[in-house]
Amino acid sequence: MKPTLLILAAGMGSRYGGLKQLDQFGPSGEAIIEYSIYDAIRAGFGKVVFVIRESFADDFKAIFEPKLAGKIETEYVYQELNKIPEGFTFNPERVKPWGTGHAVLMAKEVINEPFAIINADDFYGADAFKTLATYMATAENLTEYCMVGYQLKKTLSDFGSVSRGVCETDANGNLDTITERTKIVGEEDGIYYYEGEDKFPLHPDTPVSMNCWAFQPGFFDFLETKFIDFMKEQGQELKSEYFFPFVVSDTLQEGKISVKVLNSDATWFGVTYPDDKPLVIEKLNNLITSGAYPENLWK
C-alpha cells in the first residue's frame, strides 16, 4: 500500500502578506509545495491530500490538477471555523480555524493508509521523503509513528520569530516530549524562546519538529477524541489553537504510541516573512544547478 502525503495549506499567510502556499519560487514558477510533491512521488507516495480553505479551492485546482494529472492521485479537504464536533459552539468574534490538529482531522474520511504530514510553505528535501517512506514500509505495528528532526539552528529566520516543536529524545532516538514554542528568536548571544516578556535559552543543536511526520490512520481517532476535550476546555477562546504535536505528546505520555525521531541529511528551509523569499529562490536555484531538480519540475 502506497503512503499518502497530507499537506497543511490552509494558512492565510498573515505575516507573509499573502498566500505563500501558491507564491512562485522556482525558475518555472513553481511553489515550494511542488518540490515536496515531486520528492514524494519519487519516494513512492501514491496520493496527495491538500488541506485548504474552501476559498482557495479554485486557485489550487487550477494550478495543481494540470501538473499532477497522471502522476499522483489528488484530494482536497477544507478546514473551516465551523467544522467542529456536533453540539459545540464558539465565540462569534473568532476568525481563524483551530490549528494544525484540526487541519489534520479534516482528512480523516479520505485517508485509510499510512500518511506523512508536511507544511505547504517548507522545503524538506528529497531525503526526508525517502526516510519517511522507508520507515512507514517497515513499521511493525499500528501505533508506531515517526518524525524527521532538524537542528534548531538550521531552521531560524533572519527576519523575525518562528514557531517550532522542541523535542527531547531518549538514548534510542525515541521521542520523549515535544513542546510547541511559538516565539523562537536567534539573537547575537544565542537562541531563545519567549513566554510573554521572559526569555529562555535553547541549544542550537536541539532537535525540532518542522511538521514532517508519518502516522498510521489510527492517529485520527486520537485526534478526534482530544479535539472534543479541547473544545470543552478552550472552545470559547478567541485565539486558542489545537496543535497536533500536542496530541502526539499527550498520547505518548499515556503510553499508547511510540515515535521515532529520524535523522535526515535533507536540508530544510522555509518562508515565513516576505524577506525570506529571495533566500529561498537562491537555495532552490543552487539545488537546480547541482542537478537535484530539473528547471521545470513537470515538463
What residue spans define the domains of the chain? 4-151+209-289
- Residue 263 has a pLDDT of 79
Q: What is the pLDDT along the chain (299 residues), one digit of tens a residue?
A: 899 999 999 986 656 656 788 999 999 999 999 999 999 999 999 999 999 999 989 999 999 999 999 999 999 999 999 999 999 999 999 999 999 999 999 999 999 999 999 999 999 999 999 999 999 998 888 999 999 999 899 888 888 899 898 999 999 999 999 888 989 999 999 999 999 999 999 999 898 988 899 999 999 999 999 999 999 999 999 999 999 988 999 999 999 999 999 977 677 898 878 888 999 999 999 999 999 999 999 98
Give the Cα separation of 272 and 123 in Å (integer).
12
Which residues are CB-contacts of 120 (< 8 A; sequence separation ≥ 6)? Answer: 7, 8, 9, 11, 20, 21, 31, 32, 33, 36, 50
pTM confidence score? 0.91
SS3 content of the chain, % helix, strand, coil (to 5): 30, 30, 40
Cell output for 270: 522555509
CB 111 within 8 A of CB 220: yes
Q: Which CATH superfamily is domain 4-151+209-289 in?
A: Spore Coat Polysaccharide Biosynthesis Protein SpsA; Chain A (3.90.550.10)
Strand 258-263 relative to strand 175-187, pairing:
unpaired
CB 162 within 8 A of CB 156: yes
Listed residue (92, 90, 21, 26) closest to 57, CA to CA: 21
